[in-house]
Amino acid sequence: MIERPEAVTLAKQVSKTLTGKRIVRAERENSPHKWVFYNREKTEYETLPIGKRIGKVTSLGSQICIELKPGYFQHLGDGGERFALIAPDEKLPKKYHLLWELEDNVRFTVSVAGWGTAKLHDRKQYNDWLKKEQQRLDPVDPSFTYEAFNAMAETYCEACDKPVKAMLTSESPIAGIGNGYLQDILFRAGLHPRKKVRQIRAAQQKKLHTAIRKVLSEAIEQGGRDSEIGLHGNPGRYVCTMDKRAKDTPCPKCNTPIEKINFMGGSCYVCARCQPFD
Ligand SMILES: [Zn+2]
């Protein structure tokens, strides 16, 4: 699944490879998939991009936004998208949910596993989306200071009695963290995923902020997780400390066997000693 570091990585790769190129053919999908979130009819996906040039490519949260100059913006991400570049003599993927053929006959394809966003916005829709998204904190932006994080967490605490996993992932006021990076963040901060936000002490809160920044910046430097594939078919180099491979292996800090727990619709990997619940 694409999370903040993968969105940053893919946006950089698409920008470097495709910016300035003109789209000569577009196809919405060759295999219908009900969990791809489109916002237009198939015919619009196949006509509106024609003749447009790839402009600025940005990322926000776990979305990649590709400007189609003039006037349109293709959003991708929020799920299990795989991007690919297919040379003229290469075979297309068996299933794809978006295809652009560029003026040099290279094809850019997006195949979705699970679910994913593929909305094609005009400028007004893009501005509305941006306004909404900018209300969330971007954990890899310099504006994500401890003060900003702390203020957000205090407001979050007042409004609910939720666990730290909820504050960082589902409908979170922080953009782009999912179950993939959550495990390493909580392990480094010494917090159990079930821990209530209002029970986190000031020193732990500081550790949590540092862990978010460090885990995500290390992952960006390494091009995302090794379970995710980039535009050119190569996996990222960030190896999670706490994921399914860690189950029953000794904790790198204290040697306690790592446990798997199911919580809030996903597996969590925790060291009961380093991440006490109480
Ligand atoms: Zn431990």
pLDDT at 25 over 90: yes
Measure 207 CA to ligand 1 centroid, in angstroms: 16
171-187 confidence digits (pLDDT tens): 789 999 999 999 999 99
CB 7 within 8 A of CB 62: yes
Question: Which residue, among 87, 37, 89, 80, has the nearest Cα to 62 in the 3D structure?
Answer: 80
Q: What is the pLDDT, as a whole number, of residue 169?
A: 93
Angle between the N-to-C axes of helices 202-221 and 4-18, in degrees from 0 to 180, rounded to the nearest 10: 30
Task: Give 257's DSSP letter.
Answer: B
Instruction: Dihedral sign for Cα 243, 249, 250, 252, please.
Output: negative
Sorted by sequence, the CB contacts under 8 Å of residue 21 that are 6+ apart come out as: 53, 54, 102, 103, 104
Chain segment 132-183, per-residue pLDDT in tens: 999 999 999 999 999 999 999 988 887 778 999 999 998 789 999 999 999 9
Q: Is the peptide bond before 32 cis (omega within 30 degrees of 0)?
A: no
Q: What is the mean pLDDT of residues 203-225?
A: 97
**pTM for the whole thing?**
0.96
What does the buried/exposed string (b/e) look like for 9-36 if buried means 16 or more CB atoms within 10 Å of the residue's CB?
Answer: bbbbbbbebbeebbbeebbbbeeebeeb
Mean pLDDT of the 105-109 span: 97
- Looking at residue 21, what DSSP letter applies? P
Angle 229-234-238 from CA coordinates, rounded to 5°? 70
Distance 200 CA to ligand 1 centre (A): 19
And the tokens for 71?
């006037």
User: In the structure encoding, which two tokens stand for residue 183, read together?
Assistant: 């495990």
DSSP code per residue over 131-195: HHHTTSB-TTSTT--HHHHHHHHHHHHHH---BHHHHHSTT-SBSS--HHHHHHHHHHHT--TT-
CA of 193 to the centre of ligand 1 (A): 14
CATH architecture of 146-270: Orthogonal Bundle (1.10)
What's the pLDDT at 161? 86
pLDDT at 277: 85
pLDDT in tens, 187-201: 999 999 999 998 999
Q: From ligand 1's centre to the CA of 252, what distance in Å?
A: 7
96 three-state secondary structure? coil
**Residue 34: is its pLDDT beyond 80?**
yes
Picking from 257, 250, 185, the residue whose alpha carbon sits closest to that of residue 217 is 185
State the pLDDT at residue 170: 81
Measured CA to CA, the distance from residue 130 to residue 120 in angstroms comes to 14
Q: What is the pLDDT of residues 218-243, one digit of tens each?
A: 999 999 999 999 999 999 999 999 99
Question: Mean pLDDT across the stretch 78-101?
Answer: 96
In whole numbers, what is the pLDDT of the chain averaged over residues? 96
Identify the pLDDT of residue 117. 96
Question: Residue 234 corresponds to which tokens in the numbers above?
Answer: 């190569």
Give per-residue pLDDT as tens, 45-72. Answer: 999 999 999 999 999 999 999 999 999 9
Task: Tell me which residue of 111, 120, 115, 94 sits closest to 36, measured CA to CA.
Answer: 115
In the block, residue with structure tokens 């504006």:
143
Distance from Cα 61 to the centre of ligand 1, integer Å: 30
Q: For residue 189, how far is its CA from the centre of ligand 1 (angstroms)?
A: 12
**Domain residue spans of the chain:** 4-133, 146-270
| pLDDT value at residue 278 | 73
- The residues whose Cβ lies within 5 A of ligand 1, an ion, are 251, 253-254, 256, 271, 273-274
| Ligand 1 centroid from CA 276, angstroms | 10
CATH superfamily of 4-133: MutM-like, N-terminal (3.20.190.10)
